[in-house]
Every structure is written in C-alpha cells, then in structure tokens.
A and B are shown apart, each in its own frame.
Chain A
Amino acid sequence: MVTMTENVEILQIKNLNLWYGETQALKNINMTFIDRQVTALIGPSGCGKSTLLRCLNRMNDIVNECRVDGTIDFNGKDILHNNTDPVEIRRKIGMVFQKPNPFPKTIFENVAYGPRVHGINERKELERIVEESLKHAALWDEVKDRLSESAMGLSGGQQQRLCIARTLAVEPEVILMDEPCSALDPIATSKIENLIDVLKQDYCVIIVTHNMQQASRVSDSTAFMYLGDLIEFAPTRQIFENPKQELTENYITGRFG
C-alpha cells in the first residue's frame, strides 16, 4: 500500500552563513523543509527570516556585498553553486512578495508571462495554463469574464492571488511567500490562508510572517529566528503550546527585550 503521509525532504540547508558586507545576517543555519507542508519563519525584524527565504531562490545574488557560504540541497543540486542556473531555480522555487506586484498588463498576460518566457507560445496551451493556474489560486471564478482587462484594476487581495497564479503557471515545486498578507484586509487574508492550505497538497510552501496567529493557523512547522540564528524549529503546535527555548517563549508571548 502506498502511504501518502511519508515526509519527503525537498530542501536541505547545511551550514548556511550569509554576510552583508561586514554584518553576518545568517549564522550557521541547518534546516530541512518537507514537501507538501507549510513551514513558517517567524522572528523580530532583522532576524534574518527574509534573507533566509531569499537564499532559497538565489534572490540575494542581486544584492551588492552579499556573501554566502554553505549549501542548499534541492533535488540533489546545490542551489548556491555557481553552476546552478538561478533562472531555472526561480522557476522551480517561486516567490510571492509582501506587496502584490502584478505587471501592468492584462490578467491573462500576467499569468501567461512566465510560460512564454520558458518557451510556450501555443495559444491553446497558454489558455489551459492560465485557466488552471487561476483556478488553483482560487481566482478563476472572479476573473474568468475579464481576462483581457488590466490586472491593475483588481483589488489588493485579488492581485495577490494573481501573483500566486503567476507563480503556479511555471509549475514550481516550492512556493516562497514573504509576508503575503501584510498589505491585505482580514477577508483577503483569510482567502490567501485558505489557499495556502490547498496549495500544500501539491507544493512545499515556506512563508515569512510577522503575524504569529497566521503562522499558527497556516503552518505545519515553525522556525523561530533571532539575530541570524535559528533558535527553534519544531512542529507549529509545539512552538505555540510548549516551546522548548526561552527566547521562543518570550517572543511569541510578547515578553521580548
């Protein structure tokens, strides 16, 4: 019998250190992300959680004076290795940002953009991908009659789901989300959270959030970071019910500093 619950390790970070100039922003991080699970990264501003997220698809390449060592194993490849193609990595490991950032194009073109870049030009195939991606991002019913309208006319929450659809269109394996709801109202937030719950059936989702209730609601595992160190990484329920580290306890209960 095939068991669906088997944990597949999709990303393994080993001895990851990162400096911005003289400042060390990540200190010897070791952690493993499981496929088809949601992992939340929490911690105060400047703790390194967004930096860590950006390492996972080589977004730090474009930051001047940023130096990294260590390895991030993804499907047997080291993401950080010079020979690894960052464009290919970013296709496999998609990113959704804090502020929705649709292209100033139609809804259809926003979603079709990625597949086109990767060489898909046949109209029928693009239509199929756009429909599937929008359905998967729980946006299809709201936009199916206005695919040729500008994406800029969508609400913030719809724009964010469009960005998720755009990420899904290139068939990633991992979806990174950097505070995807911080610019959204509670209803739009709730839709994104529901969507995350659905997405994890097919993808590994890693989310950075400042909202601790959000971390506790959506994630299976939670990592707490502080000043570049990974302090505690455990099942979410344990982190919020009985954290083992005093720093974690102090942070999540608001007794910090």
Chain B
Amino acid sequence: MTEKFFDEINDLKSDVITFSWFAEQMLKNSIEALINLDKNLAKDVKKRKKELVQTSYQIEEKIFSIIALYQPVARDMRTVVCSLGVVNAAERIGTYGKDIANIVRDFPERPHIENLVSIPHMADLVIDIIGDTINSYELEDISLLAKLSERDDVVDSLKRSIFRECITYMMEDPRNIAICTHYVMIGRYLERSADHACRVAEKVHYMVTGERVEIK
C-alpha cells in the first residue's frame, strides 16, 4: 500500500514538473512572438491555453484524491501542498503568456518603439526566475532560491522604469500610445509572473525544510 502511495507521489511530482515547463514555454514563446511580431507563434500560444487549463484540473484532481485516500503527513503532506501551489502558479504564468499572445495578435502594423524598451531583458530575468523555481521543486534544492528576493526587486524596478519610459514616448507622440500601453501591460504581466514564481519558491522552501518563509 505504501509503495503505491510513493508511486502516486512520484507520478504527481513528474506531472507537476512537466506542466510547469509547459506553462513556462507559453510565456517564453509569447515573448518571442512579441519580439518578432510573429502572429503565427502568438496564435499557437493562444491555442495551448485550453490544454493548460485541462491539465491543471487533472493534476488538482490527482492531488485531491491523494489527500482523500492517503492523508499524507510530514514531508509527504508538504510535497502535496506545495505541488498544489506550483500548479496554480504555473496555470497563472501560462495564462499571462496567453494574454501577451493576445496583445501580439492585436498589435498595430508598425515596428517596435525603442527596441521594446526593457521588455526583452525583463522577460529573460523572469523566465530565469521561473526556471530556477521549477528546478528547485524538482531537485528539492533551495540553494537555487538564495538570491530570489533581490532578483525579484530588479524585475519590479524594471516594471517601473518601463512605465516611466513609455509615458515619455506617449507624450512625445500620441501615435505611440497604443503600442506603449501594450508595453506597460506586458511589463505588468511579467512582474506578476515573477511574483507567482516567488510564491512557488516559498512553498518549495516549506516543502524542503518545513519552515515558512516570506520572499520579500
């Protein structure tokens, strides 16, 4: 019976890891679609939203049945609780990818302004944060999360600087308003994605050590 339970926990973890990379890929591809104004790729990301939602439901169901059937305790309980947090956060991150893909679909037929301000750089940082949190969950290694708070601070200040920069471009030329508004929104989506990753990092910390920490 216990062997079956351990198999279920291992299956759950591997499902959660696959799902998290699926969500990360949606965000990553949406940024690629944005940079290259690739509407086909944006369309493709948008299509993946359905699978994102269905898979998150399926994994949640699996978690509910593990709790109902096995009533895990100690580290097993923390793993199950953390997995639920990871799934919810990944679903949000994937959805931000879909939101960015929607923006690309509606993007004006004009080239980018000022090389997309700091968005590509910000996206790289956010995607790295997400990758490190997924790896820390998989490897149960919190050393990857050591500088997360500082890294998240950089993301936050980039969001603010994108906002300020965009305001100046909008004031310079009202034709920039549509594109710059999109940039501001995307800056916010990226910042929120990093926040979700930080919440996951807190849960991974709890899973590994049993102690609650607040990142930032």
Residue total for A at the interface (Cβ-Cβ under 8 A): 13
A-B contact count (CB 8 A): 30
Contacts of A240 in B (CB 8 A): 73-74, 77
Nearest chain A CB to B85's CB is how many angstroms away? 16
A255:B2 contact, CB within 8 angstroms: yes
Known: A241-B77, A241-B78, A242-B78. A253 touches B72 (CB 8 A): yes
Q: Complex: how many Å from CA A253 to CA B80?
A: 13
B2 touches A241 (CB 8 A): no
Query: Judging by beta carbons under 8 Å apart, are A213 and B71 in contact?
Result: yes
Collect the chain B residues with CB atoms within 8 Å of residue A216's CB. 73
Interface contact B73-A212, CB-CB below 8 Å: yes
Compute how far the CA of A212 lies from the CA of B72 in the bound complex, rounded to whole angstroms.
Answer: 11
B211 interface hit (Cβ, 8 Å): yes
Interface hits, B17-73 → A, CB 8 Å: 71-73
Asked if A253 and B71 make an inter-chain contact with CB atoms under 8 angstroms apart, the answer reads no
Task: Tell me whether A86 is interfacial, beta carbon within 8 Å.
Answer: no
A239-256 CB contact bits vs B (8 Å, 1 = yes)?
A: 011110000110011110
Judging by beta carbons under 8 Å apart, are B73 and A252 in contact? yes
Question: What residues of chain B lie closer than 8 Å to A249, measured between beta carbons?
Answer: 74-75
Bound: A249/B209 CA distance, A: 13
B210 at the interface (CB under 8 A from A): yes
Contacts of A255 in B (CB 8 A): 2
Q: How far is the CA of A160 from the CA of B210 in the complex (A)?
A: 38
Chain A interface helix/strand/loop/mixed: helix
Whether the pair B211, A242 counts as a contact (CB closer than 8 A) is yes
Number of interface residues of B (CB under 8 A): 13
Give residues 138-191 of B contacting A (CB, 8 Å). none
B71 engages A241 (CB within 8 Å): no
The complex places the Cα of A246 from the Cα of B71 at a distance, in Å, of: 19
Contact partner, A253, options B76, B210, B211, Cβ 8 Å: B76
How distant is the Cα of A149 from the Cα of B94 in the complex, in angstroms?
69
Kindly list chain B residues whose C-beta atoms are within 8 Å of the C-beta of A243: 74
Closest to A238 in B: B210
- Please, which residues of chain B bring their CB within 8 A of the CB of A253? 72-76
Contact B74 A241 (CB under 8 A): yes
Instruction: Give every chain A residue within 8 A of B2 (Cβ-Cβ).
Output: 254-255
Chain A: minimal CB distance from B38 (Å):
48
A85 to B33, CA, bound (A): 85
Residue of A nearest to B71 (CB): A213
Contact assessment for B5 and A241 in the assembled complex, using a CB-CB cutoff below 8 Å? no
Expressed in whole angstroms, the minimum distance between the Cβ of A110 and any Cβ of chain B is 36
Which residues of B lie under 8 Å from residue A241 when comparing CB positions?
73-74, 77-78, 210
Top 5 nearest A-B pairs (CB, nearest first) are: A242-B210, A254-B2, A240-B73, A249-B74, A253-B76
Q: Add 11 more A-B contacts to A240-B74, A253-B73, A254-B5 (CB < 8 A).
A: A240-B77, A241-B78, A241-B210, A242-B210, A243-B74, A248-B74, A252-B74, A253-B72, A253-B75, A254-B2, A255-B2
Residues of B bordering A, CB below 8 Å: 2, 5, 71-78, 209-211
**Please, could you name 15 A-B residue pairs with CB atoms under 8 Å apart, sorted by A?**
A213-B71, A240-B73, A240-B74, A241-B73, A241-B210, A242-B74, A242-B78, A242-B209, A242-B210, A242-B211, A243-B74, A248-B74, A252-B73, A252-B74, A253-B72
